[in-house]
Structure 1
Amino acid sequence: MHLARTFGIAVALTGALTAVTACGSGEKPSPSSTKSSGSPAATTPSTTPAGSAALGDYTYLLIQASDVGHNFTAVGPPTQDPGGGAGAGQNFGSPDHTRTISDTIYVSIDPTVALQSESDRLSAFPKYVATPPEPFEIGTNGWMGVGKSPDKSKAVTYLVFAEGRAVVAMEFDSALDDPVMQEFVLDVARKQDGAVKSRLLF
């Protein structure tokens, strides 16, 4: 009788110890489970450029192929958030694919930031056209370079200008011996400037 009671007590103590141990391990999650409970967004650095407006759908700021004229058509769907910042872009092409237009709009938090961003883009001109840019009067602080591509494979007209809190960058490409007429470039640029001016709310 004494032995049986002793054995029963030992079994009970062993069971209680096992239960306590199991409960203790459940109350102390592993380091990996603790990390996974946090929010990844809170620790992941943002890739949105400084001064960019809130990301969203800005494709309504873009001109359409009908605005370009000369039977140009849109090449693919419009893109959103170029370079990770707020804005939109669209490519256009002629029927014979000998002429293309790249139209990109970047939206900033305010006009001051946009103007600074537009000025910063002057350093990028050599990537698109070998000729130094000259000022032109569309939007604010407009600059345009007309000449050959750096690799001399095509004729290029590249321009940038600010309009309010937006920056517009446009590239007109054509055959090396058939540059795009400046009147056509300015007409398309004015239409894009007008679209931004009338559609981008401040």
Structure 2
Amino acid sequence: MNTRANVSMVGAFGAAAAALAVGVAGCGSDDASPSPATSVASTSAAATPLSTDYTSLLLRPSDIDAGWELKTAKPEAGGVTGVFGNSAGTEKVSSAIVVRESSATAAAAVAAAKDAIARKAAGAAFSSVDVGTGGGILDGPGATTVVAFSEGRAFAILEFNSKSGERVPADVAIEIARKQDAAIKAGVR
């Protein structure tokens, strides 16, 4: 990717609380999974035990487009991360979902994550979008687009990357985020 900045996130799940890691790094890696960076702590409430597998909350590869596949899915205490890639290996979508104890803590966590991601994204800002609760899209510098939202007790961060340096169109990212939102609605009670 030929970009000035790349916002990268992964789900980080601790014993004390679920946290979301965000960072800005140069492009060039074609690793299937996002790289960890700075942690953004949320509340100190206990995370859901690791015995709960939230993999079913991930959207289906066909929700993105034909020819996409789930490259990695990593269940964690309190959530799941998934990385999807196209058949050409030129684009990927990373999804991190964290399930909280209440809708209020999920909404607060996504607001804090959006603030931290925006600070790390060199002057980019989230714009409101109609996805879940508190939905926002960051269409900042480089070839990375991020959509964040909460839905009930869960919050999700989706990151769209392209090796070509072309940004995923906002309407496409929002459509895919809505499909992720629907999967969360169906799976989190």
- TM-score, structure 2 as length reference: 0.71
Paired residue for 1:30?
A: none
> 1:58 aligned to 2:51?
no
Query: CA contact under 8 A between 1:128 and 1:156: conserved in structure 2?
Result: no
For 2:146, the equivalent position in structure 1 comes to: 158
Q: Output the CA distance in 1 between the equivalents of 2:164 and 2:123.
A: 13
Quick one: distance in 1 between partners of 2:122 and 2:133? 21
Structure 1 vs Structure 2: percent identity of aligned residues? 27
The structure with the largest strand share of the pair is 2
Letter in 2 for 1:133: F
Task: Please point out which of 74, 91, 106 is paired with 1:79.
Answer: 74
C-alpha RMSD over aligned residues: 1.9
Alpha-carbon separation, structure 2, partners of 1:64 and 1:173 = 18
Opposite residue 87 of structure 2, the aligned amino acid is: P
Over 4 Å off, 4+ runs = none
**Cα–Cα, structure 1 residues 129 and 185, in superposed 2: closer, same or farther, change >3 Å?**
farther
Match of 1:134 in 2: 127
Find the counterpart in structure 1 of residue 155 from structure 2: 167
Partners in 1 of 2:137 and 2:160 — Cα distance? 11
> Which amino acid letter does the alignment assign opposite residue 45 of structure 2?
G
**CA shift at 1:197, angstroms?**
0.7
Does the CA contact (< 8 Å) of 1:129 and 1:145 recur in 2? no
User: How far apart, in 2, do the equivalents of 1:129 and 1:98 lie?
Assistant: 24
Are 2:114 and 1:119 equivalent residues in the alignment? no
Structure 1 residue 52 displacement after superposition: 4.9
SS state of the match for residue 48, structure 1? coil
Task: Give the drift of 1:128.
Answer: 5.0
Contact 1:89/1:103 (CA < 8 Å) preserved in 2?
yes
1:90 aligns with 2:82: yes
**Structure 1: which 5+ runs fail to align?**
1-45, 149-153
2:179 to 191, 198, 202: 191
User: Which protein is bigger by CA-based radius of gyration?
Assistant: 1
SS in 1 for 2:115: helix
Equivalent in the alignment of 1:143: 136
Q: Distance in 2 between matches of 1:171 and 1:130?
A: 17
Q: Which runs of 5+ in 2 are unaligned?
A: 1-13, 18-43
Higher relative contact order (CA 8 A, sep 6+): 2
Within 1, Cα distance between the matches of 2:140 and 2:178?
21
Question: For residues 160 and 51 of structure 1, do their structure 2 counterparts lie closer, same or farther at Cα, with a shift above 3 Å needed?
Answer: farther
1:79 alignment partner AA: K
